[in-house]
Structure 1
Amino acid sequence: MPTKSNIVHEPRLWILKTVSDSEKSYQTIESYKDEVEKSYNYDSNVPNHKQIKEGDYAIIANKQKILGFAVIQTINTDTSTKVISKCWECKSSTIEPRKNLTPKYRCNKGHTFEEPQTITVPITRYFAQYPETFIAYSDESERDVLSLRQYYSKYNQNLSMQSLNMDVLKLFPSVYQSLIEQNTFQVMLPANVANNETQDYNETPFYPINKDERESIKRQIKARRGQQKFRNDLRQRYGDKCMITGCEILDILEAAHIKPYRGINDNHPSNGLLLRADIHTLYDLNLIGINPQSLEITISKKLKNSEYSIYQGKTLITITKIPDKASLENRWMEFNNLGFVTKN
């Protein structure tokens, strides 16, 4: 039977609704601070948060208008907490303030109260990013959000992320082909392959495509290395070598963020490390940590008996400048909180 890593993800289409603070129906709901042309943010309390994958197609919209289309390039995560406001009686989180009446708040079940009950819960935050694939849509006369309602898999007006029939994209011929060409994440496979119904992955037939994928692959590698200026700034700051392994093969050195990327301001060179591709991945997974005081490398106990154990206790390779200490401290705290630390 094929394993999960063998199966090529079949892309889906999502409508992702972004709501500004002034447009929110319920002002007790925290803002996700979306950047419409770059990223869509959500958390583990939002329905369908586990369903959206890299390589999926997205229609970005507000309550009335379609704002644009994109192929989701990366989905980054981090852990955080969230304050949730609830009704004291029914525990509903659908609460809105009343302008001229008292008590001040009312839930959707009709209960009223002066202040809602608030609780703080742990969450995973998701950042679906698409800065290189976003296509703005401004033809207001053609279609709006309501015109897509018949194409929902299961329409629910209260959900901010819902799946649509893929054929919807064909309603927008001006963007359809461009989106397809930009999506280099997977090849569409027959449903029986995607659903593990073949007897042996090695016997799965080859499905050729005529498109030359080489330039697309180069673009993906470039995107993984980080924005070109950010990577060049790191090379100038730290030299052309992996700051943990000392590897000097430039083609596999990538720009890694210490504080996870949330916007262009995070591309400051003091918030970055130049790392070999595999080390970058392990650092992003918090399987490698950097002590902000000594700059010593700590290897997760999950890697204790692996080839990466040789880097335990080594010092981060720098020239004259070191990474931002506050960013290192926050990342070090996150690494330690996961309980993966190897005890010497």
Structure 2
Amino acid sequence: MEDGSPKAWLMLAVGTDRQHGGNDGYDDDPDVHYSWDDTVANARTVAVGDRIVLWDKDAVIGASLIEEIETGHAEKILYRCPQCNKADIKRRKRESPQFRCYPCSDTFDVAATRVERVETFRSRHDANWIDLGRCLDGQTLRGLCVSPKSQLSMRLLRWDAFADALGSAGSGRSAVFLEEASRWAQSRPGGHRHARVRVRVGQRGFRERLLATLGPVCAFTGPGPVAVLEAAHLYSYAAVGQHHDDGGLLLRRDVHRLFDQGDIAVDPRTLTISLRNELARYPGYAPLQGQPLATKLDRGHVGWIEKHWRQHRSDPL
């Protein structure tokens, strides 16, 4: 792997059970963001444009491409063994005393603590997220790492070997992943950067509610596989900061990106699809011009659609 080239990572995502150095864990939302700090090995090596595969020790959860890394600072409580002062301790769920220290084998109920200022990192990867439906088990994933015996939360993954294993798994999700992965290879943004974007906490629940209400239907192109449908906000989530169920529709992944850019919109006067002129030369999109939506809209949807139109189209209502 050449220096500076995109890397691939297997990242452990098990919420507050993911501990490092006896800390309180991390607030992961696997299909939206992944959090870590500079106490974790490889903290500053992960970069925008890298591929990530998330798992929960037992099986793969999904994969994505890192769009952005939000950095900051926080105060963090670190727990240590009161006997040997090592940080390699774990809380025990069913046994007492509560803690066990692996270096010295001591067990105890009260850990020594200290507060440390750490640099924090949080990936944003929801736009490219692909749910892989637990199609590869944990043992297989470990074997696909550069260092199969590694115990790190973020470990380098042999990307080509991972793609081959998914191909052998033969699931529909695998096929979608392999197609998307070829697109990811086309470009790579670079580096960490400070960002002032809102992390989309709750995006998974938002999508699940839309699927339950609207069914597996892209609002612009009609019924489609669940794996390629995304929960699209009809407004700027970064500005509003919360999910409104009447402000969301399910959109196919490519259509979602075009909608966010305003290349595809809904004319609020006719509630029909409006394409920018440059899209008319693409046969996959041209037939959408002037068509009604495949999803029934309520009054709330229409209100958000009007705001989206005013934001991206210059002609007045």
Query: What secondary structure, in the 3-state scheme, does the structure 2 residue paired with 1:153 have?
Result: coil
Superposed, 1:98-113 pairs within 5 Å as 99=94, 101-102=96-97, 104-108=98-102, 109-113=104-108
Going from structure 1 to structure 2, the CA distance change for 1:150 and 1:30 (only over 3 Å counts) comes to same
Going from structure 1 to structure 2, the CA distance change for 1:97 and 1:41 (only over 3 Å counts) comes to closer
Q: Deviations over 1:207-248 (max 9, x none)?
A: xxxxxxxxxxxxxxxxx9xxxxxxxxxxxxxxxxxxxxxxxx
Query: What secondary structure, in the 3-state scheme, does the structure 2 residue paired with 1:122 have?
Result: strand
1:145 aligns with 2:138: yes
Partner of 1:86: 80
Going from structure 1 to structure 2, the CA distance change for 1:267 and 1:105 (only over 3 Å counts) comes to same
The one-letter code of the counterpart of 2:147 is K
Partner of 2:178: 176
Q: Deviations over 1:70-97 (max 9, x none)?
A: 1111111011111000012222222234
Preserved CA contact (<8 Å) 2:38 2:119 = yes
Going from structure 1 to structure 2, the CA distance change for 1:176 and 1:107 (only over 3 Å counts) comes to same
Preserved CA contact (<8 Å) 2:29 2:201 = no
Preserved CA contact (<8 Å) 1:78 1:124 = yes
Q: RMSD in angstroms over aligned alpha carbons?
A: 3.2
Going from structure 1 to structure 2, the CA distance change for 1:61 and 1:270 (only over 3 Å counts) comes to closer
CA drift at 1:121: 0.6
Preserved CA contact (<8 Å) 1:9 1:186 = no
CA drift at 1:145: 2.1
Q: Deviations over 1:48-74 (max 9, x none)?
A: 111111111111111101011111111
1:68 aligns with 2:5: no
1:57 aligns with 2:75: no
In the alignment of these two chains, the number of paired residues is 193
Query: What secondary structure, in the 3-state scheme, does the structure 2 residue paired with 1:132 have?
Result: helix
Could you list the runs of 5+ residues in structure 2 that have no partner in the other structure? 168-174, 203-235, 242-317
Preserved CA contact (<8 Å) 1:261 1:267 = yes
Preserved CA contact (<8 Å) 2:96 2:109 = no
- Kindly, what percent of the aligned residue pairs are identical? 19
CA distance in 2, matches of 1:270, 1:72: 23
Could you list the runs of 5+ residues in structure 1 that have no partner in the other structure? 1-6, 188-223, 225-255, 272-344
Going from structure 1 to structure 2, the CA distance change for 1:269 and 1:88 (only over 3 Å counts) comes to same
Preserved CA contact (<8 Å) 1:85 1:118 = yes
CA drift at 1:105: 3.0
CA distance in 1, matches of 2:19, 2:41: 18
CA distance in 2, matches of 1:8, 1:150: 23
Partner of 1:158: 151
Partner of 2:239: 269
Superposed, 1:1-344 pairs within 5 Å as 9-21=4-16, 23=17, 28-97=22-91, 99=94, 101-102=96-97, 104-108=98-102, 109-138=104-133, 140=135, 143-167=136-160, 168-173=162-167, 174=175, 175-186=177-188, 260-263=197-200, 267=237, 269=239
Preserved CA contact (<8 Å) 1:151 1:165 = yes
The one-letter code of the counterpart of 1:261 is R
CA distance in 2, matches of 1:270, 1:67: 29
TM-score, L = length of structure 1: 0.49
Query: What secondary structure, in the 3-state scheme, does the structure 2 residue paired with 1:60 have?
Result: strand
The one-letter code of the counterpart of 2:200 is G
Larger displacement relative to structure 2 (69-78 or 143-152): 143-152
The one-letter code of the counterpart of 1:120 is V
Preserved CA contact (<8 Å) 2:21 2:88 = no
Going from structure 1 to structure 2, the CA distance change for 1:139 and 1:160 (only over 3 Å counts) comes to closer
CA distance in 2, matches of 1:139, 1:270: 33
Preserved CA contact (<8 Å) 1:68 1:136 = yes
The one-letter code of the counterpart of 1:115 is V
Going from structure 1 to structure 2, the CA distance change for 1:40 and 1:270 (only over 3 Å counts) comes to closer
Preserved CA contact (<8 Å) 2:82 2:111 = yes
Going from structure 1 to structure 2, the CA distance change for 1:89 and 1:139 (only over 3 Å counts) comes to closer
Looking at CA atoms only, which structure, 1 or 2, has the larger radius of gyration? 1
CA drift at 1:131: 1.0
Q: Deviations over 1:133-164 (max 9, x none)?
A: 01001153xx2121132322123453110001
CA distance in 2, matches of 1:100, 1:151: 33
CA drift at 1:25: 7.4
